[in-house]
């Protein structure tokens, strides 16, 4: 009897910390349901989910500890420490045919890609951010979109893009030089780009187009059932409202949204936390603008599903935001900034795009959504559930994995 394929999934954290973690955890569940043998490798961390292979995990490192901690974390960037030994042990014991990497910089290291390649595994790497193109991850410099490092990696050092710190920027520059495109392309069979926008940027930075595959994220079936069962939050039942869900930070454009919201008559509910939380709450909280703080997954669904629209006002290169995918699967239209991969998700009938950073266009888009007859939510949901289904995702990923029927 033919043994099922063994697939190893690698991410720096193993709990729902962000979109990269959620995507990998969802993929793990899908692969197990399909009958594949799956193992996970990550960094040891108190919030990690229970895992059978946690004994293999790399030791925890931190860039915010004392001098010794920072030196240990800096060494990890370049593959030093216990990561080679621990990952090689898992490769030897589990013997995967496919290794699928997600976010591995900083807390893990690209050294694991080299080890998997040398072991003869098929190597797949999903690009959840722009780290391979921009040493500071996000193509932002002083709050503005920047592509200077696409042609000259030393710009991260000269401009101190990484946390506006000379030391952090020097480490990011050294990391980019050490794990360069030539090495990574030699070790990686396929780079998975969740958006065409990401793939275009990879090509612009001279990554081999034959090694790029565009595979949009998906929503697992259990989550769809969860959406269908959600009831509205009591506090939002009284009037039509719109909402924002996400990190309260500059690149998310939430400040722009709040400035616009001040002049609008409709209630806005802001869910999330982040570095700007206290400042924004003190400046903008009012009878019309309500800050909900961090919400549970259930509360987020209850909020978004019954909103007139979700607003995604980002001012950076969003890749393939799960917030938009989930909103559309619930049947809630989206007002989104026309930047990065966002326009690929919001099609005709699914919402409205506005020019990034344009207050007037954002205000007009929100007013139009709030004033119009209620959207055909069933149609929005039906289209989204087809586009972002497990079945569609697996058909496309199966080709990347080289799995034949």
Looking at residues 316-335, what average pLDDT do you find? 95
Specify whether the CB–CB gap between 110 and 79 falls below 8 A. Answer: yes
Q: SS3 of 186, please? A: helix
162 versus 101: which is more confidently predicted?
A: 101
pTM, 2 dp:
0.93
User: Which residues does residue 244 pair with via DSSP β-bridges, in sequence order?
Assistant: 270
Q: What's residue 190's pLDDT?
A: 98
Q: Is it the case that residue 372 has pLDDT exceeding 90?
A: no
Per-residue pLDDT band for 368 (boundaries 50, 70, 90) equals very high
Q: How confident is the model at residue 232, as a pLDDT?
A: 77
pLDDT > 80? residue 312? yes
> Is the pLDDT at 323 greater than 70, yes or no?
yes
Instruction: Sort 253 into a burial class: Cβ within 10 Å, 0-12 / 13-18 / 19+.
Output: buried
**Average pLDDT of the segment spanning 219-230:** 89
Give 162 or 92, the one with higher predicted confidence.
92
Structure-model confidence comparison of residues 142 and 321, the more confident one: 321
pLDDT at 405 > cutoff 80:
no
Residue of 272, 267, 70 whose CA lies nearest to 168? 70
Predicted confidence (pLDDT) at residue 331 exceeds the cutoff of 70: yes
Q: pLDDT digit string (tens) for 263-304?
A: 999 999 999 999 999 999 999 999 999 999 999 989 999 999
What count of Cα atoms within 13 Å lies in the side-chain half-sphere of residue 108? 28
Please give the pLDDT value at position 70.
Answer: 87
**Is residue 399 scored above 90 in pLDDT?**
yes
- All structural domains of the chain, each given as residue ranges with its CATH number in brackets, are 6-128+189-218+390-401 (3.40.50.2000), 221-387 (3.40.50.2000)
Q: How confident is the model at residue 401 (pLDDT cuts 50, 70, 90)?
A: very high
- 85-108 per-position pLDDT tens digit: 999 999 999 999 999 999 999 899
Q: Which two tokens stand for residue 15?
A: 């709990």
Phi and psi at residue 164, to the nearest 5°: 55, 35
Is residue 238 scored above 60 in pLDDT?
no
- List, in order, residues 6 or more apart from 139 with CB less than 8 Å away: 130, 133, 145, 146, 147, 316, 317
> Would you call 103 helix, strand, or coil by DSSP?
coil
**Taking 60 as the threshold, does the pLDDT of residue 42 lie above it?**
yes
CA 279 – CA 259 distance, rounded (Å): 13
Q: Which two tokens stand for residue 20?
A: 């990269």
Specify the pLDDT at position 134.
94
Which pLDDT does position 1 carry in this prediction? Answer: 47
């Amino acid at each position: 009897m033919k043994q099922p394929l063994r697939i190893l999934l690698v991410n720096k954290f193993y709990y729902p910390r962000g979109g990269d973690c959620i995507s990998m955890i969802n993929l793990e569940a899908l692969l197990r349901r399909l009958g594949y043998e799956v193992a996970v490798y990550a960094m040891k961390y108190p919030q990690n989910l229970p895992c059978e292979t946690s004994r293999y995990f790399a030791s925890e490192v931190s860039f915010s500890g004392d001098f010794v901690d920072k030196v240990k974390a800096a060494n990890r960037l370049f593959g030093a420490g216990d990561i080679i030994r621990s990952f090689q042990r898992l490769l030897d014991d589990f013997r995967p045919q496919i290794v699928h990497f997600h976010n591995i910089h900083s807390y893990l290291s690209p050294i694991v890609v080299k080890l998997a390649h040398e072991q003869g595994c098929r190597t797949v790497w999903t690009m959840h951010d722009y780290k391979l193109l921009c040493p500071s991850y996000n193509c932002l410099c002083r709050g503005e979109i920047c592509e200077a490092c696409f042609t000259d990696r030393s710009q991260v050092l000269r401009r101190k893009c990484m946390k506006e710190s000379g030391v952090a920027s020097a480490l990011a520059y050294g990391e980019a030089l050490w794990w360069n495109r030539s090495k990574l392309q030699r070790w990686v069979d396929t780079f998975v780009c969740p958006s065409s926008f990401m793939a275009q940027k990879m090509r612009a930075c001279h990554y081999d187009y034959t090694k790029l595959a565009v595979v949009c994220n998906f929503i697992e079936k259990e989550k769809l059932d969860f959406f269908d069962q959600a009831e509205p939050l009591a506090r939002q039942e009284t009037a039509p409202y719109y909402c924002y869900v996400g990190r309260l930070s500059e690149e998310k454009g939430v400040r722009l949204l709040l400035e616009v919201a001040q002049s609008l008559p409709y209630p806005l509910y802001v869910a999330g936390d982040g570095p700007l939380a206290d400042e924004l709450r003190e400046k903008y909280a009012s009878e019309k603008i309500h800050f909900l703080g961090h919400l549970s997954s259930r509360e987020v669904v209850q909020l978004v599903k019954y909103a007139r629209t979700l607003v995604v006002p980002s001012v950076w290169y969003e890749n393939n935001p799960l917030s938009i995918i989930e909103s559309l699967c619930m049947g809630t239209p989206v007002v989104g900034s026309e930047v990065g991969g966002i326009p690929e998700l919001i099609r005709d009938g699914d919402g409205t795009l506005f020019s990034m950073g344009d207050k007037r266009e954002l205000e007009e888009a929100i007013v139009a959504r709030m004033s119009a007859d209620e959207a055909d939510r069933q149609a929005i949901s039906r289209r989204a559930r087809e586009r972002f289904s497990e079945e569609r995702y697996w058909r496309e990923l199966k080709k990347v994995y080289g799995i034949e029927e």
